[in-house]
């Protein structure tokens, strides 16, 4: 009897196990993340920031004002050199830039979910994140000694950006805060 019960319990539990793996990224308001990789004259950057930092809300935008705010934010995030100002001497130009808003559950792998299911998930988690990817060409990468984070002026809700940089000499991490919005690379 006991065995039968545990077997039933197992069968009952199986669908839940089989559904999919569940995981959730960390999400801290006020803190964005910027990854920079430099190889030769190419600079690849990716940027993540919580919706709260960029537009001030993380619920699903439904009214026009919110939708417009998101649209404007995405457009601003697509101009990296205005947010993360590189020295003129480095002669950097943007070759590709794209920004988007993604909700925590908005990963593409969830194709099997219905749209309704999706929306429900987003409401449950209630967190959204802006995500941007850039590719720059810097004619003189050696002059890339500092980056000014005008980002903090553009987005008053942001307080900190965690920066990771990979160069020929290895990987390094920095924290750039609102009070000291300049990152010294000291290369």
Partner 1 sequence: MTFRLAIASLFARALTVGMTILAIALSVALFLGVEKVRTGAKASFADTISGTDLIVGARSGSVQLLLYSVFRIGNATNNVTWESYLDIAARPDVDWIVPISLGDSHRQFRVMGTTQAFFEHYKYRQGRSLTVADGVIMDDLFDTVIGADVASTLGYNVDDPIVVAHGLASFTEHKDQPFRVSGILEKTGTPIDRTVIVSMEAIEAIHVDWQGGAQIPGQSTPADVIRRMELTPKAVTAALVGVESPLQTFALQRAINEYPEEPLLAILPGVALQELWGIVGIAETALLAVSAMVVVTALIGMMATIFSSLNERRREMAIFRAMGARPLTILGMLVFEAMLMAAVGALLGVALLYAGLVIAQPLVDNAFGLWLPIDAPTIREFSVIVGVVCAGAIVSLVPALRAYRMSIADGMMVQT
- Report the interface residues with partner 1, using CB under 8 A: 20-21, 23, 35, 37-39, 42, 44, 46, 109, 164, 166-168, 170-173
What is the closest distance, in whole angstroms, from the C-beta atom of residue 58 to partner 1 in the complex?
A: 21
Comparing CB distances to partner 1, the nearer of 31 and 61 is: 31
Task: Quote the least distance from Cβ 112 to partner 1, whole Å.
Answer: 13
Provide the minimum distance between the beta carbon of 52 and partner 1 in the complex, in angstroms, as a whole number: 22
Q: How far is the CB of 41 from partner 1 (least distance, A)?
A: 11
Contact 125, 167 (CB under 8 A): no
CA distance to 3, 13, 19, per residue, from 7 (Å): 6, 10, 19
CA dihedral 67, 84, 126, 21 (to 10 degrees): 120
Q: Cβ of residue 14: shortest distance to partner 1, in angstroms?
A: 18
Q: DSSP alpha helices (H): ranges in 25-167?
A: 51-54, 64-77, 80-83, 115-125, 151-154
Residue 41, both tokens = 């004259």
CA 187 to chain centre: 26
How many Å from the N-terminal Cα to the C-terminal Cα in the chain?
71
**DSSP, residue by residue, 150-183:** THHHH-TT--EEEEEEEETTEEEEEEEETTB-EE
Closer residue to partner 1, CB minimum distance, 71 or 110: 110
Nearer to partner 1, 29 or 135 (CB): 135
Nearer to partner 1, 46 or 146 (CB): 46
Provide, rounded to whole angstroms, the least separation between the CB of residue 15 and partner 1.
18
Comparing CB distances to partner 1, the nearer of 3 and 169 is 169
Q: Determine how many CB atoms are found less than 10 A away from the CB of residue 37.
A: 14
Considering the complex, state which of residue 25 and residue 88 has its C-beta at the smaller distance from partner 1.
25
**Nearest-5° angle of CA 91, CA 135, CA 147?**
50
């Amino acid at each position: 009897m006991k065995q039968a019960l545990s077997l039933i319990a197992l069968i009952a539990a199986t669908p839940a196990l089989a559904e999919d793996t569940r995981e959730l990224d960390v999400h801290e308001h006020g803190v964005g993340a910027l990854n920079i990789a430099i190889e030769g004259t190419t600079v690849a950057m990716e940027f993540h920031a919580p919706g709260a930092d960029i537009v001030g809300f993380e619920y699903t935008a439904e009214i026009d004002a919110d939708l417009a705010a998101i649209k404007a934010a995405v457009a601003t995030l697509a101009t990296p050199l205005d947010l993360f100002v590189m020295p003129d001497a480095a002669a950097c130009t943007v070759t590709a830039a794209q920004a988007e808003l993604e909700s925590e559950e908005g990963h593409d792998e969830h194709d099997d979910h219905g749209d309704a299911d999706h929306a429900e998930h987003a409401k449950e988690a209630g967190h959204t994140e802006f995500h941007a990817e850039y590719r720059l060409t810097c004619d003189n990468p050696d002059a890339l000694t500092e980056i000014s984070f005008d980002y903090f002026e553009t987005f008053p809700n942001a307080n900190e950006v965690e920066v990771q940089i990979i160069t020929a000499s290895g990987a390094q991490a920095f924290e750039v805060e609102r009070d000291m919005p300049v990152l010294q690379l000291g290369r």
